[in-house]
Amino acid sequence: MLNHLSFNTPVGRLAPSPTGAQHVGNARTYLLAWLSIRSRSGRLILRIEDIDSPRVKAGAAQQAIDDLRWLGLDWDEGPDIGGANAPFVQTERIDSYREALARLQRDERVYPCTCTRTDIESAASAPHVEHEGPIYPGICANRSASDAAKLGDQPFAWRFRTTDQPYRFNDRVAGSQEANVRHALGDFVVGKMDGSPAYQLAVVCDDHAMGVTEVLRGNDLLPSTFRQLELYNAFGWTPPTFAHAPLVIGPDGRRLAKRHGDTRLATLRQQGVAAQELIGLLAWSCGLRPTREPIAARELVAEFDLCRVTREPFVFSVGQVFNLSGQA
């Protein structure tokens, strides 16, 4: 007999980084990720992405959980409720990233890179990818993994040696995407100089280990998806499907940030905004509802269709939308 969780059950995840409070932009992405899975009776995993240690703020993981609960979202496995894929906090999964890195070393897919940021930036004509910093100019690419032993005390990162081949995938929101990672993005770090794993490696290990079949996230991570496809390929793992939702931007056209005022969910909540008001606004902004009328997230499930989600960014101005006092 087939297990009731058949192979076709979609598995998604909500993956907040506890680096600061969740804001309206995060909420929109979580809502879509949740709806996409819930509308197909799939399973959701909550994972706390806390490996970016210098930026992690104490209490922010619990804050993210509270924010998500307030929005009316839920999950089937997570740090607060447990589940088969535990642990759900990245700093508790470090061993699995180490093992994966060791595998890349054995297979000569990575090399030790001693370059500092300045070395890379000052390398002749290092071209920049928008918002992504310079393309790594290959200064250390002639090293092999075993050369790490000869570096003595010199600090180094582990850099993934990209392949010279185009990757193509069909993004379920952004449409067909193609890039040659080596030319467009360059070799990238999978193990940082301080010995901790980089986001690219951790996220691929986790999504694979947790059986995630669908990644829906903000389209600022579209370039990273190509890097992650390289890693899936190197490990021989099947990648999930990807959907990259347009971001929320401020009236100046830039990605929603502190400069646009306080759009933290905790603040909206304290100021008396009801979750249903925000969900109504977000659903309307995604093209899922004709008006901004308040609605609960669960009431959107039955009619949800990812194909209907708009590909335009949403311009948000907190003062105009919610009549709040004391805005920063």
Determine if 49 is a binding residue for ligand GLU (CB under 6 A). Answer: yes
Q: Report how far residue 48's alpha carbon sits from residue 87's, in angstroms, rounded to the nearest whole number.
A: 10
Of 14-22, 157-165, 169-177, 291-299, the segment contacting ligand GLU by CB under 6 A is 14-22
Paired residues of 217 in beta bridges? 244
Residue 139 vs 296, nearer CB to Zn ion: 139
Task: List residues near Zn ion by CB under 5 A.
Answer: 113, 115, 139-140
199's enclosing H/E stretch is helix 199-209
Q: Please enumerate in sequence order all residues whose Cβ is within 8 A of that of 150, keeping only pairs 6 or more positions apart, or say none.
A: none
> Which residue reads 């606004």 in tokens?
281
Of 10-18, 103-111, 282-290, 293-301, the segment contacting ligand GLU by CB under 6 A is 10-18
Q: Which of 139, 141, 221, 315 binds ligand GLU (CB under 6 A)?
A: 221
CB of 311 to ligand GLU, least distance (A): 19
**Range 288-327, binding ligand GLU (CB under 6 A):** none
CA dist 5 → 10, 43, 77, 239, 301 (Å): 9, 9, 14, 19, 20
Determine if 281 is a binding residue for ligand GLU (CB under 6 A). Answer: no
Q: Which of 17, 36, 213, 263 binds ligand GLU (CB under 6 A)?
A: 17
Contact of residue 140 among ligand GLU, Zn ion, none (CB under 5-8 Å per partner type): Zn ion
Residue 113 vs 234, nearer CB to ligand GLU: 234
> Which residue reads 């347009």 in tokens?
246
Determine if 203 is a binding residue for ligand GLU (CB under 6 A). Answer: yes
Residue 44 vs 203, nearer CB to ligand GLU: 203
Contact of residue 221 among ligand GLU, Zn ion, none (CB under 5-8 Å per partner type): ligand GLU
Paired residues of 44 in beta bridges? 12
E runs forming strands in 181-259: 188-191, 214-218, 241-245, 248-249
Count of Cβ atoms closer than 10 Å to residue 93 Cβ: 20
Q: Report how far residue 81's alpha carbon sits from residue 86's, in angstroms, rounded to the nearest whole number.
A: 10
Prior bond of 87 cis (ω within 30°):
yes
Paired residues of 200 in beta bridges? none
Q: Which of 217, 227, 244, 289 binds ligand GLU (CB under 6 A)?
A: 217
Q: Contact at 8 Å (CB) between 27 and 256?
A: no
CB of 115 to Zn ion, least distance (A): 3
Q: Report how far residue 209's alpha carbon sits from residue 212's, in angstroms, rounded to the nearest whole number.
A: 8
Determine if 16 is a binding residue for ligand GLU (CB under 6 A). Answer: yes
CB of 256 to ligand GLU, least distance (A): 13
CB of 223 to ligand GLU, least distance (A): 12
Residue 93 vs 289, nearer CB to ligand GLU: 93
Q: Which positions touch ligand GLU (CB under 6 A)? A: 15-17, 49, 203, 217, 221
